[in-house]
Amino acid sequence: MTDGEMRKEMIITLHELPGIGWQTIRKVVEYGAWDCYQRFTANAWMSSVGMRSEQAGAVVKAFGDLKIGRRCEQLYKRGIHVITRFDGGYPELLSEIPQPPWVLYTIGNLELLNRPSIAIVGTRGPTAYGRKAALDIALGLSEQGITVVSGLARGIDGIAHEGALRASGGTIAVLGSPVDVIYPAENRSLYNEIAGRGLLVSETPLGTSIHPGLFPLRNRIIAGLSLGTVVVEAAEKSGSLITADMALEMSREVFAVPGTISSPKSIGTNRLINRSGAKLITSIVDIMEEYSWLISGGLTGGERGSKGSEPLTSQEEHIFQLLVDQPRSTDELIELSSMPFGLLHAVLINLTIKRKIEQHSGSIYSVL
């Protein structure tokens, strides 16, 4: 049993314990007691990482019942993969946000987690104009090989998923419920289609009851997985504006589809354009202007994942040569290459797809 396997099991256990929050897990991770946890008493946890007595007691009991690998094996049989922040497949864009999820529960195609993605969010009760805009944008992005991220809610979210599934880019549905719970129930057929052809993701432990507090947490993952966020119809206090605000705080691009000044469903989007600096868009051309390097770098298109002998672009060759001598972290590559983070992230994805490099835990890359 490796330290990595032990750490993964302990992080999942902590994540699923009631009363244990993000910061407490951070303290345990920084302390790194992976190989000696069985000798820790409640008092030891209280003194070493500052747990409260009730937290420490719960942790001692939970760690005493650990059966390493059993949990993940049982979930795998149900088609559920569990990823922690230290696993190689953890999405790098998400790791850059404040308080990234320690654990992700997934069903479907894990490759989508590390492909270029754009989020599309909006009202649960769209107009015909909003429905068409969301469908056209999602389809257009997917035709360019870009994955569409949304929240599987009624309205714009569901329409965005449907549009993305019509082309090669695929879609990721980030749930506010446990990954094995279909919510809302009316999206059952869409949920099943995404499970088969896209990816379902949730931070919420299995068995958790759905409550309103889960949805802002979901929204930060939607924004965090994406290079940018598109808002299609949002009322004055729409939840999709929370996602847009989070994207702005993460220094990600925000786009908004303008609406008529008389429509209450467009108050939020129009204000994003007017007050928050969101880019007004009328088609995916306006979006792709911000990500021209995705096209020039050969990152779009549905066939990119199947060719291991494709030539490298000059940007890819530059990063590849930086990794020939030794593995390097993302921070080191940013410093050595002077590339913007978004561009570097896209280049690393393409080198991985072309089977030139591989990603390790801690956002470390090496040549194959």
pLDDT of residue 1: 58
Rounded distance, CA 215 to CA 221, Å?
10
The model's pTM is: 0.82
- Least confident stretch, 54-58, 185-189, 222-226, 270-274: 54-58
- Statement: residue 136 has pLDDT above 60: yes
Mean pLDDT of 27-51: 78
pLDDT band at 3 (very low <50, low <70, confident <90, very high): low
Q: pLDDT tens-digit profile of 79-133?
A: 999 999 999 889 989 999 999 999 999 999 999 998 999 999 999 999 999 999 9
Read off the pLDDT band of 165 (50, 70, 90): very high
Give yes or no for a contact between 165 and 197, defined as CB atoms under 8 angstroms apart: yes
pLDDT at 41 over 90: no
pLDDT band at 308 (very low <50, low <70, confident <90, very high): very low
Q: Identify the DSSP state of 111.
A: G
Check pLDDT > 80 for residue 266. Answer: yes
Model confidence band, residue 35 (pLDDT cutoffs 50, 70, 90): low
Q: Which of 149-153, 232-236, 259-263 is most confident?
A: 149-153
pLDDT at 25 over 50: yes
Q: Is the confidence at residue 296, as pLDDT, over 50?
A: no
What is the pLDDT averaged over residues 61-65? 80
Kindly state the tokens that stand for 222.
């939607």
Q: What is the mean pLDDT of residues 257-285?
A: 93
**High-pLDDT (> 70) share of the chain, %:** 91
Q: Which of 146-160, 188-202, 328-342 shows the lowest per-residue confidence on average (mean pLDDT)?
A: 328-342
Helices (H), the chain: 3-16, 22-31, 42-49, 53-64, 70-77, 92-95, 128-143, 156-164, 188-197, 214-224, 239-249, 267-275, 284-288, 292-296, 314-324, 330-337, 341-353
* Side chain identity, residue 92: E
Asked if pLDDT for residue 13 goes beyond 50, the answer is: yes
pLDDT confidence of residue 307? 39
Lowest mean pLDDT among 41-55, 154-168, 348-362: 348-362
Which of 37-46, 78-87, 163-172 comes out lowest in average pLDDT?
37-46
Of 128, 125, 124, 89, residue with least CA distance to 109: 89
H/E segment holding residue 254: strand 253-257
pLDDT in tens, 204-218: 999 999 998 999 999
What count of residues does the chain have? 368
Q: How does DSSP classify residue 289? A: G
Please give the mean pLDDT across all residues of the chain: 88
